[in-house]
A and B are shown apart, each in its own frame.
Chain A
């Protein structure tokens, strides 16, 4: 301390004091910094730490089965191993390699990640479903590197290999951006699997169930350490349809390789027994996800395989309209027994000549005969007497020109023209000649196959039209206990009038009529054929184009006196109603087998017999 008392030492002591002061301030500042992080913002950082260590993965709910009326599965769920990706943890530099390793398109993956970030909600989105062994090996080998990827036990929709009732059942797939903005899918996050069409969409909520969630602890390498909690998934519920798989199969076989539709209904209650549309698509492909090229290919296909022709396509009804026309005539008192027409193969009207389908004429015919042999001239004359608005009124009574309100999405209403409709849509007055055309189911009038089945079925019931439905009434009451089956639309038809119409349709099949191909032994089949022109006959014969060929119809029901089934068959460009009637016969035969199995031995053993038979011997419409 000998130097401690001189002035220089004092200066030194001052500087040491200075150092002490600086140190004290530094410690105070450091303590304040910790106070801020730990005490003031402690909760925030604790939450961050939780987010770090607790991760969640979805536990996908199995989708309910879709069953036919006897409990046979039309769609099932199976367990698959799937890869999920966390959009927030995904590292852009890894994308290329991940996509290459799993055989995915990197641009597509990137797009999905960006969309997912935009829509938020879900922590993980599906990267690839139904992983192959190689995929799993790739993911396992790169676990440390690609921490954004998680393997989960997923559920995948499985449809029968080639699909059964694909248009009615529909398919599932990942919700698109536009679907996520719809009200019905409001609760779904990006990447959710939803029903896209058919009953998969109509009953999506019932079938879908609710995904669960598993919470677990991870370390910084993303390894799962322990499960913290589990929210079980709520499995989707099964859905029983009114479809009869046997009838469905026969219907599909009948129109396979052609364009067309088959609808079979129980006219007593509106149950849909079969609903087929052709061409078909493979719904399993949609579950796996289509590339944009595949999607473009399928949506731009001129044969429109995605279109459910039974409810979403309309065609001129052709002569199938004639029984409804006849009903109008009878009920309006204009087609009494004394009203007959003399057919010479055509009729001049308003300066034009309207042909009958039989060039040398049917001779003098009454209503029964006119329906059975489908005489056009008779209905030209009757229609002209009734007028378009009366025809339209009865057409609407039979359910045409409006949706049947079947429990399937995207049904179209078809069209029943009237004077008002013409003025409103074309600003042209109605021409009397147009009535003549509509009278035989041509012209502006268009219907869906389900409308045809519904209309003729209700007529066969004596004027009781039940709303068609594909989910059983019992099942529907379960889904919505508040719902009541819609009451049928009824009209009182004079039983005598009914008898005339039935007679006509019976003769068409069982007499010297146009629908003889639908004849079955052991049961009375009634029906009506139809062949509707797409273009004028002259053009059709000259152009020889496949898509100019006539559309073929047959709508039949059985048994005649107390109908239990009505079948509508449409063959687009089917050329001749003969072919349609043969398809309907096969469906009716299958129905008959199921109805009374004991009769099987009496029947033609080739159940779904080929439609190639002898050419029609009589000239038909």
Chain B
């Protein structure tokens, strides 16, 4: 529990580095959203995103100061609620572009429940895995965590949104990594996954297969996924060292680049800001990631460590998938770039998680 002196010194203990990194990355994203949409019908997007950003920072502060142990204590309730909402998404909503992802709210906007579920799962992992750090793991505990994890995984995968579902996997991975489970068991599980991949390929939707084949041979399928990859690569490459300038990228402004404000925001950023801009942004993300890991290392308890490291794993996974896609190293998926991509659900979810990390850091001297 938090002591009075700790509360009084919040200004001193507040992680200005983490917050600064978050704000810098978010603002970079906001500017790029502005540039990417100013010549399109979505030119209001930056204003909408700014509202979410303010909301996100508020959530960041709340998550920083409400004791994370309280969150962990009620995480199972959150989890049950999230599962119900995921079922509601599947049952009550009409598919958009072939998938059900959005749940409308009475307030007029829709939320992506799967994003909220990430926050819940961070807390669940902290709750159920913290004991394994000090205890010998038992099969029953793994069964519990398996159930808690795979239920939302399957529900998201059924939307179908395989990439978001897969983005939950790093949480499980980190939980296993930090538990007492032996490394050879981890490697064994990894092997099983690899062996099951061909089976997974058979169950992929055609558009998912297209994305992978399009990635292998971009010239073969212009106007579909291959076209996206090609246009993204042209956008990135034409940025050169110093970029074409703010609102100057022809690939972005003339709309050759698809979704330049959401999934491909880094491609439009790369075009307009060049390699220098990319190096700076990747540097910011790297610093952020390391700051989160540091918070995990210095956490007061196992729960804190697990929270920070889970968030780190989620962030790294999103970066690998999204930035790797823009850099033409992994297939196209629908994962947003955390903090930069346009979209409220993802932004608010990550802001909350980063607030939790800040919280872990603030609580590091508390016993």
Interface residues of chain A, those whose CB is within 8 Å of chain B, are: 1-3, 6, 8-9, 11-13, 15-16, 18-20, 22-24, 26-27, 29-31, 33-35, 37-39, 41-46, 48-50, 52-53, 217-221, 225
Contact = CB atoms under 8 A, between A and B. Distances in A.
Interface stretch (B59-67, B69-77, B273-281): B273-281
Nearest to A91: B223
Nearest to A6: B134
**Majority SS of interface residues in chain A?**
helix
Contacts of B309: 16, 19
B105 interface: no
Contacts of A22: 316
> Which 9 residue pairs of A and B lie closest in terms of their CB atoms, listed nearest first?
A45-B237, A33-B327, A42-B240, A49-B238, A219-B254, A38-B275, A46-B238, A220-B255, A220-B256
Nearest to B365: A1
Contacts of A11: 180
B178 A12 contact: yes
Given A37-B328, A39-B275, A16 B236 contact: no
B178 A34 contact: no
B241 interface: yes
Nearest to B327: A33
Given A12-B305, A19-B313, A219-B255, A33 B235 contact: no
18 contacts: A1-B298, A6-B134, A13-B297, A15-B177, A16-B296, A19-B177, A19-B312, A23-B312, A27-B286, A30-B282, A34-B278, A37-B327, A37-B328, A38-B240, A48-B234, A49-B235, A49-B256, A53-B256
B57 interface: no
B82 interface: no
B133 interface: yes
B290 interface: yes
Given A8-B180, A33-B327, A45-B233, A221 B255 contact: yes
B320 to A, nearest CB: 6
Interface string B242-257: 0000000011001110
B367 interface: yes
A218 B298 CA distance: 55
B237 A42 contact: yes
A53 B293 contact: no
Contacts of B282: 27, 30-31, 34
Given A30-B329, A49-B251, A37 B233 contact: yes
Given A42-B241, A218-B254, A221-B255, A37 B133 contact: no
A35 B254 contact: no
A34 B238 contact: no
A594 to B, nearest CB: 63
A220 B254 CA distance: 6
Name the residue among A37, A42, A219 with the largest chain B CB count within 10 angstroms.
A37
B196 to A, nearest CB: 22
A130 B302 CA distance: 79
Nearest to B241: A39
Interface in B132-185: 133-134, 174, 177-178, 180
B215 interface: no
Nearest to B257: A220
Contact of A26 (B238, B251, B296, B316): B316
B236 A34 contact: yes
Contacts of A219: 254-256
Nearest to A223: B254
A8 B316 contact: no
B289 interface: yes
B218 to A, nearest CB: 12
Contact of A33 (B234, B286, B297, B328): B328
B237 to A, nearest CB: 2
B270 interface: yes
B324 interface: yes
B300 interface: yes
Given A34-B278, A38-B241, A16 B293 contact: yes
Interface in B261-291: 270, 274-275, 278-279, 282, 285-286, 289-290
A43 B180 CA distance: 51
Contacts of B237: 37-38, 41-42, 44-46, 48-49
Contacts of B286: 23-24, 27
Contacts of A42: 237-241, 275
Nearest to B176: A15
A71 to B, nearest CB: 50
A30 B323 contact: yes
Given A39-B240, A42-B238, 10 more contacts: A1-B300, A3-B301, A11-B180, A30-B324, A33-B324, A34-B236, A48-B234, A49-B234, A52-B250, A53-B254
B300 to A, nearest CB: 7
B236 A3 contact: no
B293 A9 contact: no
Nearest to A27: B286
Contacts of B324: 30, 33
B133 A3 contact: yes
B251 A27 contact: no
Nearest to B286: A27
A225 B254 contact: yes
A46 B254 contact: no
Contacts of B133: 3, 8-9, 12
Given A9-B133, A42-B237, A45-B236, A34 B327 contact: yes
Nearest to A2: B367
B179 to A, nearest CB: 9
B201 to A, nearest CB: 24
B278 A53 contact: no
B361 to A, nearest CB: 13
A29 B297 CA distance: 25
Nearest to A29: B329
Contacts of B240: 38-39, 42-43, 46
B211 to A, nearest CB: 18
B18 to A, nearest CB: 16
A41 B239 CA distance: 10
Given A39-B275, A53-B254, A20 B233 contact: no
